[in-house]
Amino acid sequence: MHEQVCQRNVGRRMESLINTSYNISLYDEYEDPFPRSYELDDDSEHGKELISNNLICPIMEKYSDKADENARLMDEYMVPLVVESQSSILYPAFVQVNFYLRTDVINMFQNALQFFGRATENPNIYTSRFLDMCATIEYQGVSSEAIRLTLFPYTLKDSATEWLDIFPPQCITIWNQSSQKFLSKYFPRKRIAKLRDKITTFQQLDSECYSYAWKRYKGLLCQCLQHGLQKWLREQYFYIGLNPISKANIDYVYENSIKRTTDQVYQITEDLAFTSRLWPNERTSGKRAIGVFEVDSLIAISVQLTSLVQKVDQMNVA
């Protein structure tokens, strides 16, 4: 009974809306054949009551949008829209409220460390320096993970920046993901194999002293941290590549080295490289010109004879 009364009241009010020139559309014959929406002034009392009873739903700016769309010029459709791009890194939330990295910190990383993605650059050296610089920055309540992920994009330039932008938005959530993708791109297995071959076939140059040879060998190890060679094997490859003179010095210092540990042998190698810096550098010693030694000897003998003659003359005078 109550429902019938409500339906009668609704019918009467709908007729009243029609008679008072309110435009009520039971359905849009061009869009939806099922009556679900109506057009009316939803600010009126009748409209509010119908909406509150879920009997009709107003269409917001339906025809106004169509009018604006029809009024647009054709060239306006060809104007590209500005789309905000999302970073491929999902930056961790800082615990501190309103925390942000200072501009001087960002500028320091941009100026001191840059990676362009060139073939001559070594990603291992870049990554090591980047982590060392990040370790010097500490904020209370801010994790090292957040600092690394935040500063990493600022150190990339040119093609390296384009590489980071090709990933889906917010697909990188931790630093290990970022570093693995980075090394996989710029330090592939082919490059690892090439540098590893340089380590295993190391040769001391003819005019290279022991300390420079050891420094160059350690540089190869730093360029390829993924070489997979154990410490004792690295020492062996270095010894095999030395020239006979350096090997003789090594053998003299390494007496009974077979009974020493790998760390002890490595330390001896470091100490020998340090002391060898006092040795003459054969690379800087030029060849003596022909006849120079003989001329210098004659001059020295002449000076000595002159000195003796003067002493004899002084004795005779006395």
The one-letter amino acid code at 164 reads L
The mean pLDDT of 13-41, rounded to a whole number, is: 48
Q: What is the DSSP letter of 84?
A: P
Lowest-pLDDT range, 43-52, 94-103, 208-217, 260-269?
43-52
Q: Which of 26-35, 53-62, 303-312 is predicted with the least confidence, judged by mean pLDDT?
A: 26-35
* Average pLDDT along the chain: 73
The two tokens of residue 296 are 């210098």
Backbone angles phi, psi at 62, to 5 degrees: -70, -55
Confidence band for 291, pLDDT divided at 50, 70 and 90 = very low
> Contact, 199 vs 224, CB < 8 A?
yes
The answer to whether the beta carbons of residues 150 and 108 sit under 8 Å apart is no
In sign, the C-alpha dihedral spanning 221, 225, 229, 230 is positive
Q: pLDDT class for 295, splitting at 50, 70, 90?
A: very low
User: Between these two residues, 152 and 250, which has the higher pLDDT value?
Assistant: 152
Q: Which of 51, 40, 52, 43 is nearest to 16 (CA)?
A: 40
pLDDT at residue 201, rounded to an integer: 93
Q: For residues 307 and 162, give the distance between their C-alpha atoms in angstroms, rounded to a whole number.
A: 80
Q: What is the DSSP letter of 96?
A: S
pLDDT of residue 251: 77
Tokens of 252: 């003299």
User: Could you tell me the residue ranges of all domains in the chain?
Assistant: 2-77, 103-187, 191-278
- How would DSSP label each residue in 159-223? HHHHHHHTSPTT-B-SHHHHHHHHHHHHS-HHHHHHHHHHHHT----TT--HHHHHHHHHHHHHH
Handedness of CA 27, 28, 32, 38 (dihedral sign): negative
Per DSSP, the three-state class of 156 is: strand
